[in-house]
Chains A and B, each alone.
Chain A
Amino acid sequence: MALTYRGRAGKFLSDRGVKDYDLVLVETDRLSLKGRVIPRPELFDDTHLVIKLNNGYNVGISVDKIKNLKILEKGWKHREPEIPRMEPRKGLPYVPMVVTGGTISSRVDYRTGGVRAYERPEELLDIVPEIADIANIDYRPLFAEFSENLTAGHWVKIAEAVAKELNSGASGVLVAHGTDTMHYSAAAVSFLMKNLGKPVVFVGAQRSIDRPSTDAVLNLIASVRVAVSEIGEVVIVMHGSSSDEFAWVIRGVKARKMHTSRRDAFLPVNSMPIAKVTREGIEYLSGFRRRDDSLKVEIDTKMDDRVFLLYVWPGMDPKIVQIIKDLDYHGLVVAGTGLGHTPYEVIKELERLVKDGIPVVMTSQTLFGRVNLRVYETGRLLLKAGVIPGEDMLPEVALVKLMYVLGHTRNMEEVRRLMMTNMVGEISRSISMRFFPPCWVS
């Protein structure tokens, strides 16, 4: 066993031969406490010892106040509860889960307080036994990252892992993912997959799975249902309301996390949910590409991650735009105001970028609605400057798409053509009045 304590507390404990999880008796002026030494996170101060008392409570004691410390037992021989192995059931579709990390794929050990990732599918079935009735699931650990740490390189790896499973008999693939950037990854995988005929389902949790109130249970049941459904697209499946009643199926290139913490944080933008899924079944709500099991998925992994996303604001210093070029970026997505505008001074800088061969794509901070650069003078100037209208794409989707496009061509006209061409449903032909405000709960 190791000792996670540093500094003063670390010295105090190592001088006395104490390691994490030892059972100790600690005496201060008035207290005499018996408990297990609990590992201490690095961010906490280095002057307190934390022990778990017999009544379950953790308490911190200043090492400066400890008069006496006695080790009563070295180490902790606690055994994890036994979880029975499960045999795959005959006749059920096969749905592997590619695990990338995030809240959904790890749990807190309630004895130690430490977080650890799942190792066996049985551990998930222990909490969500319902999914064993829908499909045989299996684990494909890929990495264990907070989603904010993922890069374009990770997106490629996810796409490769998913393609491999789809081409070897899976009915659909789940991608367990942190929610923060799930919509970036889902968009990226959407662009990278060619010839997709099966569901690729991104799923996550806003409440960790070790909590009784976790949203993961419904999300997982719903995502497995989608993985065996008629849908042949990359989608995100997350709660549709604050209740544990149903989940939305949202097209990967139309989804956005719109709340820091709510279960129903993910919303389709400029789009309807593809379907509503309950524990019992699926109700299709809008058009989608249908499953075609005969297709063999290919992936096209060429991406250029030198793309910048600029959120403009009134009064911003136009010179910032120059830095983007100085830092050797190959493309720029602007989240403009309203219909797709920037301050007047910024337009000139954007024009210089375009002249230097760096494509600039305009999206909107309003998220909802289509950009239109023909209505106002500012827009017309931007068009004249060579800015590419990003239609109704979300800024994040335009960013990922531009990386994909630049991975294939840096020819300005070709980039313009591709950015304005709908590839996987990221550009809506028409925006229905039903798309906004985004509430479809009847």
Chain B
Amino acid sequence: MVELKVGLEIHQRLNTNKLFCNCPSKIIEREPDEWLIRKMGVSYSELGSIDPAARFEVLRDREFFYGIYYDETCEVEADESPPLPMNEKALEIALKIAKIFNMIPLDEIHVMRKIVVDGSNTTGFQRTALVAMGDDESYVETSKGRVHLRTLCLEEESAYIVESRREYAKYKLDRLGIPLVEIATAPDIHDPDQAEETALKIGRMLRATKEVMRGLGTIRQDINISIEGGARQEIKGVQELELIPEVIRREVRRQRSLLDIKREMERRGLSEDELEDSFANVTPEISGSNSRMFRKALSSGNVVLAVKLPKMRGLLGREIQPGRRFGTELAGYAKVFSGVKGIIHSDELPGYGIDANAISSIASKLGLSEEDAFAIVVAEKGSAEIALGAVLRRVRMALKGVPEETRRALPDGNTEFMRPMPGSARMYPETDIPPVNPELILMRLASWRYESPEEVVERLMRSYGLPLEQADMLFDEEKVDIFERIASSCRHLSKRFIADVLTSKMRYLRREGHPVNLISEKMLEKILSLVDKGVLAKEAVESLLADLSLNPKADVEELVRSKYSMDESLLRRIVEEAIKKHRDLLKEDKDRALKKIIGEVMRRARGKVDGRRVRDLVVEKIESEA
């Protein structure tokens, strides 16, 4: 195994209002009330590390649509008003989290503007502040050693992207400005599974504060990977924890393959000078072919440009990740910098309706020899030139090894190029917000006690006699509070039964396709209190929950009365009938008879009467007859 260094960046949304205005941190499903249309002005000379020409073109030409909600977003999200002071509650939670991880809060917190170029913030920058830093004593323990925590930042969430095209991108502003805590670990992780374990552990610790948001998208992780001989990569947007090890394994494989390709390029004696920025117009060569794809593209005034990639034959088709080839990497650059849909390279030809004839006429136009390859792109002329320029740049980089990149995680664990790794220079002070001195909050927090996940689980086992699995489940599903409330109010119920309803039963129903998330905590408390009072049979809980999930507005008591309880006189009649049937046995063996009678009644009344109540009734009846 090559030397692997992995660091994680965990982004967790906090459960407060927005960071720089008083709007609710609420995701809104409906269409925005209005769309604003904005452009981003960018200084040509300040683009710095991002390829100036190409980036400039893309950004300048794009329009950004921002969907606003009249009642849920305000002037601040629309970049029409300066930010309000930093949300103190959010800062307090961030400082609590710093405390949990034994990190050191900064004495004065400065909000910065981090320039973003994709339009995901209406301002053109993300507001972010470094709140705390770590030292040797700031770490999480994993089964493979300590992972240290480096920095803790409090920042605003970006706007939610609805649609992205070369000419425009559409965002909704409901998500913009939700407070996020970003926790970055040191590159102490040396193993793909340890990365998952670390993320899981940090996530659990954050949830134990009970002040972070829960649910889909509220926590996400970026992975920083560097590999000996390779380069550092920042992989964004890994949604599921379980995918982390696979993403890392596939990145290792990608970098190894890229290094193999580099060695092969060197062996073939390719030098940078041979890669020339000269593009041939091969539109006539292609238009002779019978590809419908090309005919369609060319009819709208596009051209086909080709570039010679000397000594690269066979390398473009080389697989670097399952299903992804070196050519896919080149295409990634072309797409990002020029907005084209992709490129076609000679290692995948003949194909796409390009036959051997067309290939050989392109080859002769470019003056190719046996070892050479080529790439073509079909687009409007300007974009096509930018696309092939980007392809050439990527090939030049391949001669040097693996370029540092920001990459996007794909659902299968592969990654694709997003943008070059940003430098650190593109940050400047947010002059609209004065620095914050956290001293007073820290004094308040001196007496705050945090109960770690382990402590919570241990307490659940000790105080309620729950098995470890149930206690763990209650914690992970964030049901500790409701469990404790019910356990203290429903004294007749077994604690395990309560935990079972809250965790396994709900989980089972969800898997069966019942939308149990619609059942409120209040309803759950009501249901269990009815069981506690003997009004509702334990056995009926499951089907009642299923019913309620489909009809969440129903009145619980009404539903129980109408469907889940048996009329008293009917129950008495059933009891009488059962006793009559087993009267003989009752005289011979009272205990056996009792069991049979109760069993008989339960068969007819299951789900409508509690077993305890049936037993009481039967005993009462027998005794009264005796």
Contact = CB atoms under 8 A, between A and B. Distances in A.
Contacts of B106: 59-61
A235 interface: no
A108 B431 contact: yes
Given A54-B424, A110-B427, A207-B79, A212 B130 contact: no
Contact of B75 (A30, A31, A58, A262): A262
B75 to A, nearest CB: 7
A62 B39 contact: no
Contacts of A45: 437
Interface stretch (A139-147, A238-246, A381-389): A238-246
Interface stretch (B42-50, B447-455, B495-503): B42-50
A212 B45 contact: no
Interface in A212-263: 212-214, 216-218, 242-245, 260-263
Nearest to B46: A81
Contacts of A129: 44
A243 B129 CA distance: 29
Interface stretch (B13-21, B110-118, B271-279): B110-118
Given A30-B137, A110-B427, A59 B108 contact: yes
Interface in B239-283: none
A388 to B, nearest CB: 38
Contacts of A242: 36, 78, 80
Contact of A212 (B41, B428, B429): B41
Interface size on A, as a range, is 35 or more
B546 to A, nearest CB: 48
Contacts of A62: 107-108
Contacts of B122: 213
B177 to A, nearest CB: 14
B37 interface: yes
Interface in A50-74: 50, 53-62, 65
A4 to B, nearest CB: 14
B41 A217 contact: yes
Contacts of B128: 57
A113 B130 contact: no
A56 B75 contact: no
A111 interface: yes
A108 B135 CA distance: 33
Interface string A352-382: 0000000000000000000000000000000
Interface string B431-451: 100110100000000000000
A29 to B, nearest CB: 8
Contacts of B82: 261
A56 B112 contact: yes
B63 to A, nearest CB: 8
A15 interface: no
A222 to B, nearest CB: 13
Given A82-B45, A242-B78, A213 B36 contact: no
B125 A212 contact: yes
Chain A, interface SS category = loop
B109 interface: yes
Question: Which residue, of A30, A54, A212, A242, has the highest number of chain B Cβ atoms within 10 A?
Answer: A212
Interface in A25-42: 30-31, 33, 38
B87 interface: no
A53 B424 CA distance: 9
Interface string A108-138: 1111010000000000001111000000000
Given A212-B117, A261-B80, A110 B37 contact: no
A110 B107 contact: no
Nearest to B79: A213
Nearest to A241: B36
B81 A260 contact: yes
B383 interface: no
A263 B437 CA distance: 32
A380 to B, nearest CB: 43
Contact of A217 (B39, B135, B428): B39
A123 to B, nearest CB: 9
A85 interface: no
B81 A261 contact: yes
Contacts of A48: 107-108, 435, 437
A56 B425 contact: yes
A55 B153 CA distance: 12
B386 interface: no
Nearest to B424: A56
A127 B435 CA distance: 29
A301 B518 CA distance: 74
B107 A65 contact: yes
Nearest to B80: A262
B75 A261 contact: yes
B80 A263 contact: yes
B110 A244 contact: no
Interface string B112-140: 11110100001111001110010101000
Contacts of B107: 48, 60-62, 65
A211 interface: yes
Contacts of B104: 30-31
A82 B153 CA distance: 33
Contacts of A218: 39
A1 B476 CA distance: 56
B81 A262 contact: yes
B130 A57 contact: yes
Contacts of B437: 45, 48, 60
B41 A128 contact: yes
Contacts of A244: 37-39
Among A54, A127, A129: residue with most chain B CB under 10 A? A127
A60 B435 CA distance: 8
Contact of A58 (B37, B110, B137, B426): B110
A182 interface: no
A363 B28 CA distance: 46
A83 interface: yes
A403 interface: no
B109 A60 contact: yes
A209 interface: yes
Contact of B44 (A55, A58, A126): A126
A289 to B, nearest CB: 32
Given A58-B112, A59-B108, A60-B435, A126 B38 contact: no
B151 interface: yes
B40 interface: yes
B426 A110 contact: yes
A111 B425 contact: yes
B429 A113 contact: yes
A83 B363 CA distance: 41
Interface string B189-225: 0000000000000000000000000000000000000
Interface string B391-416: 00000000000000000000000000
A439 to B, nearest CB: 14
B218 to A, nearest CB: 24
Interface in B161-190: none
A53 B82 CA distance: 26
Contacts of B133: 31, 33
A213 B108 contact: no
B80 A57 contact: no
A45 B108 CA distance: 10
B53 to A, nearest CB: 13
Contacts of A128: 41
Contact of A110 (B41, B109, B428): B428
A212 B435 contact: no
A212 B78 contact: no
Interface string A6-34: 00000000000000000000000011010
Nearest to B110: A58
B434 A44 contact: yes
B213 to A, nearest CB: 24
5 contacts: A38-B429, A50-B435, A56-B426, A57-B110, A127-B44
Given A30-B104, A55-B424, 13 more contacts: A55-B130, A57-B112, A60-B107, A81-B48, A83-B45, A109-B428, A127-B42, A211-B113, A211-B123, A213-B41, A213-B123, A216-B41, A244-B38
